[in-house]
Structure 1
Amino acid sequence: MAWAPERLRRTTHWRGGRVLLESGTMIAPILRSFRTVAAVALLTAAISGWAAASKPVWTLPLGEDAKWETLTDLGVLLVGTDSAIHCIDPDTGKVLWKNATFKKSNTMNAREIPGTPFLLCNQFSGMANSKSTFTLIDYLTGETEWTAPEVSGQYLGTIPVPEKGLAILVMTTWKDGKGQEHGTFLFAHDLATGERKWSTLLTKANGIPLHMADNSGKFMPRMDLSGYHDPVLEGDTLYLGYLGVHALDLNTGAIKWGVEFPPGDKGLKRTYAPLRIVGDVLYGAGGGSIHAINKETGATLWKSDRISEYAGLFKARDNAIVTQIEVIDDKIYARYGGNFSNGQTVMLKEPLGVVVVSAADGKPLYQDKKIEGGLTNLMALPEIGAVMFADGKELVGLSAGATVEEIFRVPIEFKRKMGGGDIAKIGLGLTGGLMGTVKAVSSSSKARLDVPVAITRQDGHIVVQGKQHLLGFDPVAKGQKWSLYYAAPSDAFATIAMFAVTLAASAQGNAQVAQNGSIMTSGGRQGMENIQNALDRYNRYTETRARKIGGSKSSGGYTYIITKLEKEHGGGVGLVGVNLGNGETDRRLALGDKEPKYLADEAAGRIFYFKGGDQIQAYEF
């Protein structure tokens, strides 16, 4: 596969005690559907620099607690409460519209369609939410474009396919006396009119392992497809990764073929590796093996040996979870194990490892036998022809040439911003990393020992993220540029940070979109002519937002961290902003809340603080 340039887009938000950092590479359409992608809640140190204004630029009482919040691609603020969806002008705080039809919504059933001003919403009704109504809203005007007929069944998810002018509803239905069958169905609707184009039975009812939905209640949990990566589109075919791989013909709704294999762990989210397509071959992973499949016929070309066998006989008893595969030229780089979420907690699943196999036949070419303590996502480094990852003690780079070999193995040293006594006490820089010091330090000092969970790209260097640390790494010079270490306000915050960073590891470097046109290309506009005015509005708003961002004080590349501020900066719990380009902490905002929730528009330099959960205060940097 040819090396592809990457781009980075960030939106940070604090949800239920989490700091979330959204990062994108070439994969914006997929990542927009996750909205919560990377995260950090870290430990304290001396900080200095520019602070946010002490007074909000606007305040908006909601009248009830916000349950979810997101920024659209145009910067418009959407907030869901138990009784309605609110659309808010980010510049003035004015409520542009409020729709009380959609109660107890979440980000899985109120999905923005990439490249359009549309929001796909699902309204629940009936006993135990047994009925569902599909609706398309223009979020710039609040107008309802169309509402599809009510369907009886359990809502599982929505798949927007704007390139083909379709919106697909995934539901488990039952016989209703009106001709509706029992099973898990795909219902495709015309994006312009809402007309149902086709329906397809994907599998039997309850055939897909489900996971707890975001914002789901504990007493009556709602289950959905949030534990899976978004399908991959190529041409007229959508490849679904819910039960291995199924190829769906978007013109007719026919399932062209299906190759089923189990996930790495049914109880954990995103334990199927995201699908990869190279030429005529589709690659997937599950059940401890990598699969190569002819994308046209569904014929299995090869299946690798169980990856856990590479981890040694002792660990082979535990099936490996292959969570990422990257196809580079004639090789497949794969990682297995790491941190996973079940929707409520995070756990480290072993065995841990990185292997490289031949893309031609799946035969092993390389295995890293030194991984311990944790494992991040794989990150391609085309500038030096390498693939990078981190474990609990080292940053590692593998060559992507004719042979696979280590080109760097750099000890992780989180030490900058610590006092000299702290460094001496923990021994960082003396032992070649973190893991070697664990048994030698006191329990209070162990709080400063942190295992990397995710790596992202930022302005020519790599940012290594742990739940309590940030580190900048130059892959060309093979050296650290900076590192930071902050105090979480409580152990609970540190635990939640691990939850959030795990989401980053699940998505960053994992998702891929096949080469295809977007809705804004001439080919992508087929079937959308009836709503061309809405697309024109989208273009105008895009231009307006670009001008605003271009004139803002934000220099880009920030992550915001919940910590305890020093007294001279207001004290108590607040936010600090870290410039990921240079590692400098030059923004701060005192919040005066023990468990603050916020959302940040990093590009525009604006923080939305949900004071008490039911009042929004906007601050600008």
Structure 2
Amino acid sequence: MPALSFAFFRSRLWLLPLLLLATQLHAVEQLWSAKLKEKPTWNSLTALGTLIVGTKGAVQSYDPDTGELMWQREDLDKTSAFNAREVPGAPYLLCNHSSGIAGSKVRLLAVDYLTGETVWEAEQIQGQYLATYPIPEHGIAIFVFNGWGATKDDQGMIMRAHDLLTGETKWQTKYGKANAVALHYADGSGKFAPRMDLSGYHDPVVEGDIAYLGFQGVEALDLNNGEIKWEREFKPGAKDLKRTYAPIRIDGDRLYAAGGGSVYAINKSDGSVIWESDRISSYAGLFKSRDNAIVSQVEPINGKVFIRFGGNFSNGQTVMLREPLGVAAFDAATGEEAFKFAKPKEGITNLMMLPETNTVLFADANSLYGLDVSGETVTEKFEVEIEFKRKMGGGDIAKIGLGALGGLRGLAKGAMSSSKSRLDVPVAIIRRDGHIVVVGNQHLMGYDPIAQDLKWSTYYAAPGNGLTDSVLFAVTALAATAGNAQAMSASSYSSSQYSSGVNNVHSALDRYNRVAGKRKAATKSDGGYSYVLTKVEEGRKKGIGLMGISLETGEGDKQVILGDKKPDYVVDEGLNRLFYFKGGKQLIAYGL
């Protein structure tokens, strides 16, 4: 169907400078600064707003109100965000420490991140750390490692469940041989001595007493005793890339998964395959086998199973766009293909469902598409040309930190290939009250899908020459998992099922509830900003800095000069704070 043109908007681009001048800009206030003893390698904000910082030599915690170093654990060195997992509903970090030759002695421990004290410490194992998964619904943490013990039971890939509150071992299961699952580079791992782990896979999806694992297809793990009740193996999208199995989706008595270019409908009670779709692939060249498409998202919607294939993927060190790109739908009962759209070019966003209008949205480099999914057949509802096609030179590339998506860091590492014209390709669609926002690296566009009307479109040029492909991947990966209520659901530790006679446990939970209440009372914002690296002015001062763009209006109304082309920062949207790691030597907090 014909595209809706935005020529009227382009013809009025000359108004943009006047509009920007008219916007009420707020220069931010510096709240505090603190010296850093060592350059950070990772950082994260806890649910309580505490800032956790990892370095090569320690894990530290800073008071977000004052900048005071609350605690430092030098025994937790060479960590990453993946092996310092926060437990939902309790002030605990699940950490591991490796020592000995090649880090072969590993111990798991829980740290109270409000005090830095050890809550419990598990028995040391001989092996290689792979992952830790907190399962608060069952009060356990699953510790996964390659065991190198003396007996056969202690060798291979092992899963061990620990009580979240005491560390007591509940059960242990041998998953397979040490090389049973392909590993990937740990995020932030050094190039000379890289660490490998399970960060290339999505977290287990929990329903009832079963955790569905996605390491080699789908496996059903009984959380009560560690028994693997059934397994259904199939190939990943690409072994060398992270998260090329689509997140598992559960719908009634079946679940949907994908791998090797195919989609699977699986009976969740016994693992039997109800149907398997035809393989989606692309021509690889003469005398070469066809390349399987990477199915990166699966969504059961209105009696059909929609998928997105292709997109941006990481191997832990670089990010790349993998084709073919497209969207397809299958009959949920039979697996027969009901719709296929293979037109996307130069990139593809997440699929977004609007249930009130029975519309599925996605975008590529050229257009925002809306599919009507109300009837038996899927039809194209609208195609809207978007303003993300500006060709960019080396000094005209912007960077989006996307604090509105949960505090993604503004780390600019790597660059896209310069072999062809650079395009500001949309990387995600997010929902914002009565409209959606299409997010690119330089542009943001607000669109009303019900009225099919452009609300606003904003562009800010950037001063650097490094396209943030790391952010492209982060947004795409987040969009693929967002909205999975099964993966997000978690019981609170204050519920009766976690009652314990251990005084320090109750004390920790009381502290958590007090701080959570204080934070809720102090919350000033529900989020809704993206942060762009651009040139900003504060009175007579000019320099490189961050512009906060409202996802409601598209206006830039917050700004701060940083003087850094590749700033490392994280945003606390609830309390309107920005934490900036200046040169790896100083931590500065700004009130937005």
Class of the TM-score when normalised by the shorter of the 2 chains: 0.7 to 0.9
- Which digits, 9 at most, give the CA deviation of each residue in 1:224-260, with x for residues without a partner? 1111111100000000011100100010100001101
What is residue 588 of structure 1 aligned with on the other side?
A: 559
- Which digits, 9 at most, give the CA deviation of each residue in 1:31-83, with x for residues without a partner? xxxxxxxxxxxxx97565323335x2211112111111111011111111122
| Inter-partner Cα distance in structure 2 for 1:413 and 1:517 | 37
| Inter-partner Cα distance in structure 2 for 1:315 and 1:324 | 27
Partner AA of 1:200 in structure 2: T
Partner AA of 1:321 in structure 2: I
1:532 aligns with 2:506: yes
1:608 aligns with 2:579: yes
What is residue 198 of structure 2 aligned with on the other side?
A: 225
- Which digits, 9 at most, give the CA deviation of each residue in 1:2-41, with x for residues without a partner? xxxxxxxxxxxxxxxxxxxxxxxxxxxxxxxxxxxxxxxx
Question: Which one of 226, 233, 237 corresponds to residue 264 of structure 1?
Answer: 237
| Inter-partner Cα distance in structure 2 for 1:414 and 1:246 | 41
Bigger mean CA deviation after superposition, 571-580 or 277-286: 571-580
| Inter-partner Cα distance in structure 2 for 1:157 and 1:523 | 27
Partner AA of 2:591 in structure 1: E
| Inter-partner Cα distance in structure 1 for 2:123 and 2:62 | 29
What is residue 197 of structure 1 aligned with on the other side?
A: 170
After superposition, the Cα gap between the structure-2 partners of 1:271 and 1:516, relative to the gap in structure 1 and judged at 3 Å, is closer
What is residue 218 of structure 2 aligned with on the other side?
A: 245
Secondary structure at 1:273 match in 2: coil
What is residue 74 of structure 2 aligned with on the other side?
A: 100
What is residue 58 of structure 2 aligned with on the other side?
A: 84
Secondary structure at 1:274 match in 2: coil
| Inter-partner Cα distance in structure 1 for 2:288 and 2:326 | 11
1:52 aligns with 2:27: yes
Q: How does 1:354-373 map to 2 (within 5 A)?
A: 354-373=327-346
What is residue 123 of structure 1 aligned with on the other side?
A: 97
| Inter-partner Cα distance in structure 2 for 1:238 and 1:524 | 22
| Inter-partner Cα distance in structure 1 for 2:114 and 2:259 | 41
After superposition, the Cα gap between the structure-2 partners of 1:454 and 1:191, relative to the gap in structure 1 and judged at 3 Å, is same
Asked whether the equivalents of residues 39 and 584 of structure 2 are also in contact (C-alpha less than 8 Å), the reply is yes
Q: How does 1:525-564 map to 2 (within 5 A)?
A: 525-526=497-498, 530=502, 531-549=505-523, 552=524, 554=525, 556-564=527-535
Asked whether the equivalents of residues 414 and 484 of structure 1 are also in contact (C-alpha less than 8 Å), the reply is no
Asked whether the equivalents of residues 545 and 559 of structure 2 are also in contact (C-alpha less than 8 Å), the reply is yes
Question: Which one of 470, 479, 503 corresponds to residue 453 of structure 2?
Answer: 479
1:466, CA displacement in angstroms? 1.6
| Inter-partner Cα distance in structure 2 for 1:562 and 1:208 | 39
1:501, CA displacement in angstroms? 2.2
Q: How does 1:198-217 map to 2 (within 5 A)?
A: 198-217=171-190
1:458, CA displacement in angstroms? 1.7
Secondary structure at 1:73 match in 2: coil
1:390 aligns with 2:353: no
| Inter-partner Cα distance in structure 1 for 2:179 and 2:475 | 28
| Inter-partner Cα distance in structure 2 for 1:168 and 1:213 | 18
What is residue 519 of structure 1 aligned with on the other side?
A: 491
- What count of residue pairs does the alignment treat as equivalent? 545
- Which digits, 9 at most, give the CA deviation of each residue in 1:117-176, with x for residues without a partner? 1110111111121121100011112221100011111111110001101011111112x3
- Which digits, 9 at most, give the CA deviation of each residue in 1:475-506, with x for residues without a partner? 111222111222233222x1xx2221222112
1:576 aligns with 2:551: no
1:195, CA displacement in angstroms? 1.1
Question: Which one of 172, 184, 197 corresponds to residue 146 of structure 2?
Answer: 172
1:278 aligns with 2:257: no
| Inter-partner Cα distance in structure 1 for 2:586 and 2:114 | 22
What TM-score do the two structures reach when normalised by structure 2? 0.87
Partner AA of 2:491 in structure 1: I
| Inter-partner Cα distance in structure 2 for 1:267 and 1:542 | 40
Secondary structure at 2:170 match in 1: strand
What is residue 12 of structure 2 aligned with on the other side?
A: none
| Inter-partner Cα distance in structure 1 for 2:367 and 2:500 | 50
1:318, CA displacement in angstroms? 2.0
1:508, CA displacement in angstroms? 1.1
1:402, CA displacement in angstroms? 2.2
Asked whether the equivalents of residues 410 and 479 of structure 1 are also in contact (C-alpha less than 8 Å), the reply is no
Q: CA RMSD in A?
A: 2.7
| Inter-partner Cα distance in structure 1 for 2:127 and 2:26 | 51
1:316, CA displacement in angstroms? 8.7
After superposition, the Cα gap between the structure-2 partners of 1:134 and 1:455, relative to the gap in structure 1 and judged at 3 Å, is same
1:286, CA displacement in angstroms? 0.3
Partner AA of 2:239 in structure 1: K
Structure 2 runs not aligned, ≥5 long: 1-15, 397-417
What is residue 444 of structure 2 aligned with on the other side?
A: 470
| Inter-partner Cα distance in structure 2 for 1:137 and 1:330 | 45
Partner AA of 1:484 in structure 2: T
What TM-score do the two structures reach when normalised by structure 1? 0.83
1:309, CA displacement in angstroms? 7.3
| Inter-partner Cα distance in structure 1 for 2:386 and 2:287 | 28
After superposition, the Cα gap between the structure-2 partners of 1:144 and 1:328, relative to the gap in structure 1 and judged at 3 Å, is same
Secondary structure at 1:572 match in 2: strand
| Inter-partner Cα distance in structure 1 for 2:94 and 2:342 | 46
Asked whether the equivalents of residues 324 and 336 of structure 1 are also in contact (C-alpha less than 8 Å), the reply is yes
What is residue 425 of structure 2 aligned with on the other side?
A: 451
Asked whether the equivalents of residues 569 and 590 of structure 1 are also in contact (C-alpha less than 8 Å), the reply is no
What is residue 134 of structure 1 aligned with on the other side?
A: 108
Asked whether the equivalents of residues 89 and 493 of structure 2 are also in contact (C-alpha less than 8 Å), the reply is no
- Which digits, 9 at most, give the CA deviation of each residue in 1:580-619, with x for residues without a partner? 1110101110112343221211221111111121211111
After superposition, the Cα gap between the structure-2 partners of 1:240 and 1:129, relative to the gap in structure 1 and judged at 3 Å, is same
Partner AA of 1:463 in structure 2: V
1:514, CA displacement in angstroms? 2.2
What is residue 506 of structure 1 aligned with on the other side?
A: 477
After superposition, the Cα gap between the structure-2 partners of 1:479 and 1:569, relative to the gap in structure 1 and judged at 3 Å, is farther
| Inter-partner Cα distance in structure 1 for 2:340 and 2:320 | 24
After superposition, the Cα gap between the structure-2 partners of 1:407 and 1:262, relative to the gap in structure 1 and judged at 3 Å, is same
Structure 1 runs not aligned, ≥5 long: 1-43, 423-442
Asked whether the equivalents of residues 83 and 103 of structure 1 are also in contact (C-alpha less than 8 Å), the reply is yes
| Inter-partner Cα distance in structure 2 for 1:477 and 1:337 | 30
- Which digits, 9 at most, give the CA deviation of each residue in 1:545-586, with x for residues without a partner? 01111xx4x463111122232485632321111111110101
User: Quick one: higher RCO (CA 8 Å, sep 6+), 1 or 2?
Assistant: 1
| Inter-partner Cα distance in structure 1 for 2:105 and 2:368 | 50
Bigger mean CA deviation after superposition, 120-129 or 338-347: 338-347
| Inter-partner Cα distance in structure 2 for 1:338 and 1:389 | 12
| Inter-partner Cα distance in structure 2 for 1:599 and 1:335 | 29
